[in-house]
Amino acid sequence: MSKRKIINDPVYDGFLSIDDPVILQVIEHPFFQRQRRIKQLGLTYLVYPGAMHTRFSHMLGALNLMKRALETLKQKGVAISDEECRGAMLAILLHDIGHGPFSHTSERVLVDVPHEEITLLMMQRMRDDAQKALSMCIDIFTNKYPKHFLHQLVSSQLDMDRLDYLGRDSFFTGVSEGIVGTDRIISMLNVHEDELVVDEKGIYSVEKFIISRRLMYWQVYMHKTVIAADQLLLSILRRARELNLSTFNFPLSSFDLDRFAEVDDDDVMVAVKHWQHSDDEILSTLCRNLVNRRLPAIRFSNEPFEGVECDYFHGTGELHNRSYDFNDQEIKVLYKDGRCLPISEASDQLDRHFLEKQVTKYYHYFPKDQ
């Protein structure tokens, strides 16, 4: 294997240079290469045609940001060893490796195991196979490593995962609301009492980040047509499972990690195209609708829909959008005088009422001809 690889990333208009042999070997692992065949935004390409980017590109992008964040912290005098840098970079590189086909859409339908648990199982398998260096990566990922701020870089309300997917999803969908000052935020990162914080001068960039995340949820992740497409795919998978079609039958009691790791978006779509010709009229109709983009109509309401008889073609659900979670560790701002305040107190734009507000919308989907 080459000692150094350079990867071009259009989102950051530059190159990611990787020379760590362990990281290079992890990228070559079949579990990781599978991410090339899983779309980052599932069926969102049916609404935004450019949204064809994959989990693979997102994970490499998050690695890029992690590398830059660690360099920033070290320049500011934060003690981080080379081994810890590697562990943190591996943790962010593998943070999404347990996603199933079409990312969140198929979760809990193909397998009754959350993707976070599958991610950990895959990390442990890769460690046991060859890479003992993954032990620190797993400790950082599970927040068991003594330096808590390393875990926050991987999973928190201002982590490298969110910074990358907001910018990347904005880039490929063309929705400008997701553009955030990634470079500025990373340059303002610091550590105070083992907590990841943002220097005072970065407060406005953090405000923009929080607002952008809320807007992206309504305009992309919870777009009504995306929800309609997701519901159609879920109906297909549920019907196929009810008919005991073995292609994607993963009961919890006999979960097979290796078998799961072989299934990706391509397998699902090949099955859907095949099931168009099923003898089961419900399954064949659903599959033809997805292949030909005949998506359900969908209505939103501020109140729950009552009296809807749910089946494979009709149903209801609800969406929740809250860009900030007070149950999680707050984003904190470090002032020059040594004070460290949560963003809810430091910001003069985002008061607590705005930050903790959760918007709930209810939806009803049904065939368009009805």
Q: What is the DSSP annotation of 188-227? A: TEEEETTEEEEEGGGHHHHHHHHHHHHHHIIIIIT-HHHH
Domain assignment present for 77: yes
Most distant CA atoms of the chain, gap in Å: 72
Confidence of residue 252 (pLDDT cuts 50, 70, 90): very low
Cβ neighbour number for residue 250 with a 10 Å cutoff: 19
In tens, the pLDDT along 185-217 reads: 999 999 999 999 999 999 999 999 999 999 999
Whether residue 253 lies inside any domain: the answer is no
Distance CA 304, CA 312 (A): 19
Strands 359-366 and 297-301: antiparallel
pLDDT tens readout for residues 287-324: 999 999 999 999 999 999 998 899 999 999 999 988 78
User: Is 70 exceeded by the pLDDT of residue 45?
Assistant: yes
Q: Examine residue 217 and state whether it is found in any structural domain, yes or no.
A: yes
**How many angstroms separate the CA atoms of 361 and 11, rounded?**
32
Q: What is the pTM of this model?
A: 0.92
C-alpha closest to that of 150 among 209, 77, 91: 91
C-alpha span between 41 and 168 (Å, rounded): 11
In a domain, 369, yes or no: no
CATH of the domain at 42: 1.10.3210.10
Q: Looking at the domain assignment, is residue 54 inside a domain?
A: yes
Q: pLDDT tens across 21-35, in order?
A: 999 999 999 999 999
| Contacts of residue 277, Cβ cutoff 8 Å, sequence gap at least 6 | 284
| Distance (Å) of CA 356 to CA 15, 38, 350 | 38, 33, 10
Domain annotation covers residue 38? yes
Q: How many domains does the chain have?
A: 1
3 state SS of 14: strand
Q: Give 330's DSSP letter.
A: P
Instruction: Confirm whether 278 is domain-assigned.
Output: no
Paired tokens of 367: 């065939």
Secondary structure letter of residue 350 according to DSSP: S
d(CA 269, CA 291): 8
Q: Which domain holds residue 203?
A: 5-223
Find the mean pLDDT for residues 169-174.
Answer: 96
Q: Which residues neighbour 116 within 8 Å (Cβ) at sequence distance 6 or greater?
A: 98
